[in-house]
Structure 1
Amino acid sequence: MTETNSKLNKFMQRDAAVILYGNAVAGILISLLTSSFLVFAFSYPRIDPLKKIWWWVMTCLLLIRFFDMIWWEVKLKKTQFDGNIATIRFITGANLTALMWSVYLVYCTTQGNDIELTTTIIAIAAMAGGSSTVLAAHKYTAIFFPCILLTPGSIGLILSDQKHLQLLGILGLSFSIVMLVISRNSAKFTANTLFLKNENSILVHQMEEKVKQRTHKIYELSNLDPLTRLFNRTAFLEQLKVVTTTPQKPFALLFIDLDGFKKINDSIGHKAGDDILRETANRLSQFTKDSQLLCRWGGDEFLIVFSDIDEASAVEKSKQLIALLSEPHNTENSILSVGATIGIALYPIHAKTEDRLIQLADMAMYYQKKQMRSAVCVFTEEMEKLFAYDLHLKNGLTKAIENKQLRLVFQPIICSKTLNIAAFEALLRWQLDDENIPPDEFIPIAEQYGLIHEIGAWVLQHACMQAKQWDNKREIIVCVNVSIIQLQDENFIGIVEEALSSSLLPAELLHIEITESVFASDLVVITNQIKSLQSMGVQVSIDDFGTGYSSLSAMQDLAVNMVKIDRSFVNKVDSNGKAIISAVMHMSSALNFTVIAEGVETEEQSQALLQLGVHYFQGYYYSRPIEIENIPSYLESKHSNTA
């Protein structure tokens, strides 16, 4: 980590030097022309000796800087130069130039006439304005340069006994303060840009180095995988490269990933896992005629090539292969089953190189896994766009909080009998590059890459802080959605406690909403977490109830406080959805939980749900999600209507 930071700083310093020296010619030329104009244009033909001396010193300084710039351009730019030393050389010259201009302006405030003084301040102010961009690669110089240009002279004018000079000094000082802020922000933006650029470069380089090291290690191994006796990566890639570099008929590359293997490996043991991998390799060997075009790619992943085949035939063979690999395994005195998801890339339609074919088949396999496991998928260009888009979102999410791109909106939850506001559900919104990214797009990515913990903590903290600002007399609850991944985190209870403590929000005004997927998780861990929340006074809701995993026994064990009926049942309340909702209401009486219907969009739905006894409503019929700044006026309008 220390070595990485050292490299990052080194590269950033070099980039900063490149930017500074890249703008050097313009800065030097402007200083030379401006100094010559100011010295020789006024009091001509008699030149004040001190001005002339100042001009000679300034010219020599600018020449030294010019030769330094030439030296850097010719001798250093294309080498592995020390960015810190180069930057120090540049900023030394730049800061000395600023000091020279400061001396000249101070001198003019005591010796020059009004026209000369005004012209001088305008010229120096213009240079100060340009410096915020030209010197942005070095924060302290970018701030120092405009300040030292204007501040001393402006203070001198303010201290004069002439009102118009005092006003001119105030303008100069004000401008220097504005330029300080602008320069600081510009320097911060440039530093962040350089950081991201070099961080990505280092990460890419590290990844490339790891790939090289791993490839070298694989190259040193024998051609056979020691467990399955199939070809390993090295042997398979060499064979595949031969196939792709010689004239060939079309073929299909299949990327096979076993479904459910990790669970068996973790729960029953590695011996059972190894037995399944060996048996899988045997089944694959029996299925193909060419063992050289079959390999164990790694873990529970296998690659296989079918020669002289079209897409339809490749899909059909893949389905047969899935059926074969899904047959039960007799191992460890147990009958175990795994499935298989297969991605297909076609040569030469999709790619003509071995690496690219594997990449695309892998992409198709992962795409299919996200849709439905134990099925087959053929690569399409749309998948690559989606993959790139997911990567774009992932990179954006890592900086979303820092860049203040996240915000919360709140949708009211209405009491069905009184139509009073009982709660607000906090809904997360993300704006990236002027595009509003839907939560169902970025939340799975946040969960996949482990970003959900930081984002979830941010949501909890800000939701509690906002809820504390609402009308305390009415005790309006805030409901916060929590990912199952967050709930399984051993630090989650502490995060909730911190959010309540820092916001001073009473625990009974916070409701945690979790999706029905908790029923497919470790119920012991989930039950303990829910009980811990409830012991604090926080209530717990099951969101999207009825869409997948729930069971009566699990509901009884979890003892949640509320259940949210999924909008799909509300949309069908006039047909078969009515029976489901009615059953949920009977369950609520038996298990003592309240019921919220979400997605209520019409008066007819509202009336039907009211007749069924649903306790609370949420949906567009009552209100769309409300921005934070509009909540006070919304609450006031509702208070007026019920008064």
Structure 2
Amino acid sequence: MQRDAAILLYGNAVSGILVSMLASSFLVFAFHDPLTDSFKQIWWLVMTSLLVLRGIDVIWWKIKLQNTKFDGKRAVNRFIAGANPTAVLWSVYLVYLTIYNNGIELTTTIIVVASMAGGSATVLAAHKPTAMFYAFILLAPGSIGLLASDEYALRLLGILGFAFSIVMFIISKKSAEFTLHTLYLRNENTVLLHRMEEKVEQRTRKIYELSNLDPLTGLFNRTAFLNHLKSVINRADKTFALLFIDLDGFKKINDSIGHQAGDQILRKTAERLKQSDLDTQLLCRWGGDEFLIALENTGEAEAIEKSAKLIARLSEPHNTENSVLSVGATIGIALYPEHAVTEDRLIQSADMAMYYQKKQAPSSVGVFSGEMEKLYFHELRMKDGLTKAIEKQQLRLVYQPLVLSTNHKLVSFEALLRWQFDDENIPPDVFIPIAEQYGLIHEIGAWVLKNACKQASAWGNDIGVSVCVNVSVSQLKDECFIAIVDDALLSSGLSPELLHIEITESVFESDTSFLSHQIKSMQARGIKVSIDDFGTGYSSLSVMQDLAVNIVKIDRSFVNKMNSNGYAIISAIMNIASSLDFLVVAEGVETEEQANELSSLGVHFLQGYYFSKPMEVANIPNFLSKKTEVNEY
């Protein structure tokens, strides 16, 4: 309000000063009276000096203050400090003339002063007290002086002048109030407009955040990052590196502790990335526990060095409310333009590098290569083939016998999956991990169970030959798994006692409470459960006790090393099995010497090429006819 008032007052000041200058000069020099000339000249000098000072003040305000955030109240006070003395000087001039002049000069002066009083109501309306004072003080004192005159005409003029001053006083008041109300509304509208602009800005910011930022971490999302990366590629004149970061062990925390803890890990990871002197416009959460960083003007060696530092920083423990959690990080690097020249291919290349590095050495750095791309597309081809393998009848089961160690009598067959893809036999250790990675293992595993049970039932429940079926941990974690097993048994008519389920030793990594429930559910049906590849990875005696499996299978690597430390390890396993009441199978038996040594160590069952290679279904009846005696397994 004060600033707007000052702007209005100073905006009208030049015309007001010029009018006062012209009017004062005219009245002083147009009329000559020896009695009053000396006073008028002195008055004119004072008035002119005051008007000049006011003119200087106006010029200074327009040059120095007008376009700045000046102090409005101070500016108004400075203006009225010049305007009010001007009014007083005019009042003094009129009073003096009413005393010493009663002719045409007095009449002319009253008309001029009355006109100026009328003009002041508008010119000074931005400051109510000054407008009212100016309009009243110009005419009122002089008019009162005329009322004391002996001449009737002058007294009549005094009455008119005083009445006019009262009217101008009222008009000035109303004009000032109207002007001030207008200023108030203007400022109120400005405030409302400012508030609306703030709300629009807030909503715009919110829309920007929703469309460009990841809500959990505050980093750029895919869309925003791709746009920035495209800009970097368009202006790039040097090599730059793209880092694809994937957290190691995050899924385990998410699954075992909960998504709240997982979200906390992701937020803290994002904060650590932000604090790593990186350009935040080239940093994003790509999805899940994956992050992308583009490092401009960075070559391979520097990118590897920075990646190693990032891995060290991201691998530091996270202090949460209830515990200390740790994750690692694997980083894949792709370089522009060496590996790719578009944003999509660059990200794909970095993703490949990360993927293969995680397979070989988690929590380390890998740089993209052409060989990786070949392997990647080969894997995609395998994945696409597996999705239609059942439909195209490319899968089949072969069977390898297990025998009793003491007399080599048949006890069981292990069902082994084979895949013939485009006239090529793909080894299980190649396609099974792919099936697990892309979620195809559940459908394939159900097919294996159903067909293995059907084949075992064809041998006849009366001869007691059981069938062993390998099951992945991801299958065992499926809540529908027991129903799938029941369906396989029901549709085949196989006795549950003749079905053995083999699970890999990676079960020890998982949440054993649910897996233990699954195992007990199978055992309650009469199904036996064994741990395959025992001794190669995550074995834990306490977990084995909790899971309470029936059988452990010693990995072939220990059998192959019977002449070195394998013998001692197998002896230790047998001691553990005896204590925990497990049966033991040794696989990979290839020689008579191995069979005899394993038998002497107390191993219960043997399996390997020494007894038979995996055989096709068509050859099993002939094999069974030779093995007339079958022992229970």
Question: Does the alignment reach a TM-score above 0.5?
Answer: yes
Cα displacement (A) at 1:273: 4.1
Kindly report which structure 2 residues correspond to 1:368-447, keeping only aligned pairs within 5 A, or say none.
Answer: 368-447=357-436
Over 3 Å counting, the alpha-carbon distance change for 1:293 and 1:457 in structure 2 is closer
In 1, Cα distance between the equivalents of 2:630 and 2:543?
Answer: 42
1:530 is paired with a residue whose SS is: helix
In 1, Cα distance between the equivalents of 2:214 and 2:557?
Answer: 50
Report the count of equivalent residues: 426
In 2, Cα distance between the equivalents of 1:503 and 1:247?
Answer: 64
In 2, Cα distance between the equivalents of 1:234 and 1:502?
Answer: 50
Over 3 Å counting, the alpha-carbon distance change for 1:509 and 1:297 in structure 2 is closer
Q: Looking at CA atoms only, which structure, 1 or 2, has the larger radius of gyration?
A: 2
AA partner of residue 599 (structure 2): L
AA partner of residue 409 (structure 1): V
Cα displacement (A) at 1:275: 4.1
AA partner of residue 315 (structure 2): S
Cα displacement (A) at 1:566: 0.4
AA partner of residue 556 (structure 1): Q
Over 3 Å counting, the alpha-carbon distance change for 1:639 and 1:218 in structure 2 is farther
Cα displacement (A) at 1:595: 0.7
1:368 is paired with a residue whose SS is: helix
Conserved? CA contact 1:218–1:233, under 8 Å? no
Conserved? CA contact 2:353–2:372, under 8 Å? yes
2:426 pairs with 1:457: no
AA partner of residue 464 (structure 1): C
Cα displacement (A) at 1:622: 1.3
In 1, Cα distance between the equivalents of 2:227 and 2:619?
Answer: 64
Q: Which residue of 1 aligns with 2:248?
A: 259
Q: Which residue of 1 aligns with 2:153?
A: none
2:477 pairs with 1:488: yes
Give 1:527's match in structure 2, choosing from 510, 516, 531. Answer: 516
User: After superposition, what is the alpha-carbon deviation per residue over 1:26-52, rounded to whole angstroms, capped at 9, x for unaligned?
Assistant: xxxxxxxxxxxxxxxxxxxxxxxxxxx
Q: Which residue of 2 aligns with 1:296?
A: 285
In 1, Cα distance between the equivalents of 2:556 and 2:408?
Answer: 19
In 1, Cα distance between the equivalents of 2:375 and 2:233?
Answer: 27
Give 2:498's match in structure 1, choosing from 506, 509, 512. Answer: 509
In 2, Cα distance between the equivalents of 1:511 and 1:531?
Answer: 13
User: After superposition, what is the alpha-carbon deviation per residue over 1:541-571, rounded to whole angstroms, capped at 9, x for unaligned?
Assistant: 1110111122111122222111100011111
2:554 pairs with 1:565: yes
Conserved? CA contact 1:256–1:301, under 8 Å? yes
AA partner of residue 529 (structure 1): Q
Conserved? CA contact 1:218–1:234, under 8 Å? no
Conserved? CA contact 2:330–2:362, under 8 Å? yes
AA partner of residue 296 (structure 1): R
Q: Which residue of 2 aligns with 1:548?
A: 537
Cα displacement (A) at 1:620: 0.9
Over 3 Å counting, the alpha-carbon distance change for 1:225 and 1:454 in structure 2 is closer
Over 3 Å counting, the alpha-carbon distance change for 1:299 and 1:484 in structure 2 is closer
Percentage of identical aligned residues = 70
AA partner of residue 287 (structure 2): G
Cα displacement (A) at 1:632: 1.4
Conserved? CA contact 2:465–2:630, under 8 Å? no
Q: Which residue of 2 aligns with 1:579?
A: 568
Kindly report which structure 2 residues correspond to 1:308-319, keeping only aligned pairs within 5 A, or say none.
Answer: 308-319=297-308
> In angstroms, what is the RMSD of aligned CA positions?
2.5
2:238 pairs with 1:249: yes
Over 3 Å counting, the alpha-carbon distance change for 1:453 and 1:223 in structure 2 is closer
In 1, Cα distance between the equivalents of 2:630 and 2:475?
Answer: 39
Kindly report which structure 2 residues correspond to 1:67-78, keeping only aligned pairs within 5 A, or say none.
Answer: none
Cα displacement (A) at 1:254: 0.4
Q: Which residue of 2 aligns with 1:321?
A: 310
User: After superposition, what is the alpha-carbon deviation per residue over 1:567-610, rounded to whole angstroms, capped at 9, x for unaligned?
Assistant: 11111111111111111111221211211100111222222212
Cα displacement (A) at 1:281: 2.8
AA partner of residue 586 (structure 2): A
Q: Which residue of 2 aligns with 1:623?
A: 612
Cα displacement (A) at 1:404: 1.2
Conserved? CA contact 1:413–1:422, under 8 Å? yes
Over 3 Å counting, the alpha-carbon distance change for 1:589 and 1:350 in structure 2 is same
Unaligned residue ranges in structure 2 (runs of 5+)? 1-205
Conserved? CA contact 1:415–1:422, under 8 Å? yes
Spell out structure 1 runs of 4+ moving beyond 6 A: 217-220
AA partner of residue 450 (structure 1): G
Over 3 Å counting, the alpha-carbon distance change for 1:444 and 1:421 in structure 2 is same
Over 3 Å counting, the alpha-carbon distance change for 1:386 and 1:633 in structure 2 is same
Over 3 Å counting, the alpha-carbon distance change for 1:361 and 1:454 in structure 2 is same
1:541 is paired with a residue whose SS is: strand
